[in-house]
Amino acid sequence: MSVIHVENLYKRYNGVEAVRGVTFDVREGETFGFLGPNGAGKTTTISILCTLLGFDSGIAMVNRYDCRTEPQKVRSSIGLVFQEFTLDNELTAYENLKFHCYLYGMDRSLTERRIEEALDVVNLSGRKLDLVRKFSGGMKRRLEIARGLLHRPRVLFLDEPTLGLDPQTRSNVWEFIMKLKKAAGSTLFMTTHYMEEAEVCDRIAIMDNGRIIACDRPDELKRSIKGDTVYIKTVDDASASREIEEKFLLKPKMIEAGLSVNVEAGEKFVPQLFAGMKTEIKSVNLKKPSLEDVFLNLTGREIRDYGPAPRAPGLRGR
Ligand code: ATP
């Protein structure tokens, strides 16, 4: 069953077409990611689904509620974690969570139980009565994500949930996101431009210039590249290159660190290479395609080529 249904969605800002005919469905229990460079239209789409932004045409449904005509029902059925911190620094961790439960009309015993559980999952039980002001960036983020799931939303939206955190804290935050998702049984919808974060998703929609250019499981997307890259260092790269061309009918590229060659299945090619080459091989490295390669293959550009884009109103309090 679809918990999010989007069909032919369009959004323009004063002539800028931010979202151009986007269509996708998210199934119950999925972790679904929007991956794309700055300015691709990810935040605009998530803002529309969270009813923080209107749209020009198309259909946007969340939990079977229409984002245009039933925004209150959409809002009460979702959780939302913004890019920026929205905790109250002058309240304790416990008070921040309690305030959230109060806003969602949860009774006292449920409130206490859920807060205890949430603090336990994100490893902050010992800091329950500390002011949030004293927390590190990673601790604040964990607390915010725990807060977003206290009322057990059917869908939790996360807009670039680990932006600005260092790599170690980011992976630690992801561990907690997955634990919380399991405990709450929610569907996750997230945006990111970090390739490695998109890998945790069951499915990814790759967005570019306001359009979805591919949507599938990460492994399927990578399989679509049809090939691995093998990096080879030899005692004589020029003669190794000629040998590879003749014996394997492949076209190696000369690179700074030796040769690179694209093959369909690297794990089959490497033993053949060792068995068939006369030129002495010094080292071989096999690289499976990454999501970065998928983006490059689809657009001819690298996802990291982009600079920051102007920000849309809505999610980030711009
Ligand atoms: P980022 O992570 O950098 O925000 P994004 O993929 O979330 O990227 P959006 O913020 O949705 O992209 O922006 C999509 C397009 O809409 C971009 O071209 C951006 O310049 C434009 N845009 C966003 N907000 C506004 C606005 N308030 N007014 C005009 N154009 C906007």
Over residues 251-286, the pLDDT tens digits come to 998 888 889 898 988 899 999 999 999 999 999 999
Kindly indicate whether the domain formed by 226-288 is annotated with CATH number 3.30.70. yes
The candidate with the shortest Cα–Cα distance to 10, out of 210, 209, 215, 309, is 210
- Judged against a pLDDT cut of 70, whether residue 178 lies above it is answered with yes
Distance CA 103, CA 79 (A): 12
Structure tokens at 30: 């999925």
Q: 195 or 270: which carries more pLDDT confidence?
A: 270
Answer whether 261's CB lies under 8 Å from 250's CB: yes
SS3 57: strand
Which residue lies with its CA nearest to atom 22 of ligand 1?
312
Mean pLDDT of 196-218: 92
Answer whether 40's CB lies under 8 Å from 207's CB: yes
Residues with CB under 6 A from ligand 1: 13-14, 16, 18, 36, 38-44, 308-313
CA of 234 from ligand 1 middle (Å) equals 48
* The pLDDT value given to residue 85: 83
Q: List, by residue range, all CATH 3.30.70 domains of the chain.
A: 226-288
The candidate with the shortest Cα–Cα distance to 259, out of 289, 288, 239, is 239
Which residue lies with its CA nearest to atom 21 of ligand 1?
18
Q: Which helix (H) or strand (E) holds 317?
A: none
Q: Which amino acid is at 99?
A: F
Mutational pocket test of ligand 1: of 12, 19, 42, 303, the residue with most ligand atoms within 8 Å of the beta carbon: 42
CA of 171 from ligand 1 middle (Å) equals 26
Q: Point out the ligand 1 atom lying closest to the alpha carbon of residue 37.
A: 6
Q: Point out the ligand 1 atom lying closest to the alpha carbon of residue 210.
A: 14
CA of 213 from ligand 1 middle (Å) equals 17
Which residues, listed in sequence order, are joined to residue 158 by a DSSP beta bridge? Answer: 81, 190
Beta strand pairing status for 57-62 and 2-13?
antiparallel
Helices (H), 20-158: 42-49, 71-76, 93-103, 108-121, 137-148
Answer whether 34's CB lies under 8 Å from 192's CB: yes
Mutational pocket test of ligand 1: of 34, 38, 162, the residue with most ligand atoms within 8 Å of the beta carbon: 38
Distance CA 144, CA 137 (A): 11
CA of 29 from ligand 1 middle (Å) equals 28
* The pLDDT value given to residue 307: 43
Answer whether 225's CB lies under 8 Å from 40's CB: no
pLDDT band of residue 309 (cuts 50, 70, 90) is very low
* The pLDDT value given to residue 304: 65
Residue that has been written with the tokens 């014996």 in this structure: 247
Q: List, by residue range, all CATH 3.40.50.300 domains of the chain.
A: 2-220
**13-56, pLDDT tens digit by residue?**
998 999 999 999 999 999 999 998 888 999 999 999 999 999 99
Residue 211 carries which DSSP code? E
Structure tokens at 216: 């599938």
Q: Which helix (H) or strand (E) holds 237?
A: helix 237-248
Which residues, listed in sequence order, are joined to residue 17 by a DSSP beta bridge? Answer: 12
Give the CATH fold of the 2-220 domain: Rossmann fold (3.40.50)
CA of 90 from ligand 1 middle (Å) equals 32
Mean pLDDT of 159-172: 80
Mean pLDDT of 144-169: 86
**What is the layout of strands, in order, in the sheet containing 65-66?**
16-27, 2-13, 57-62, 65-66
Say what the pTM is: 0.80
Mean pLDDT (the chain) is 88
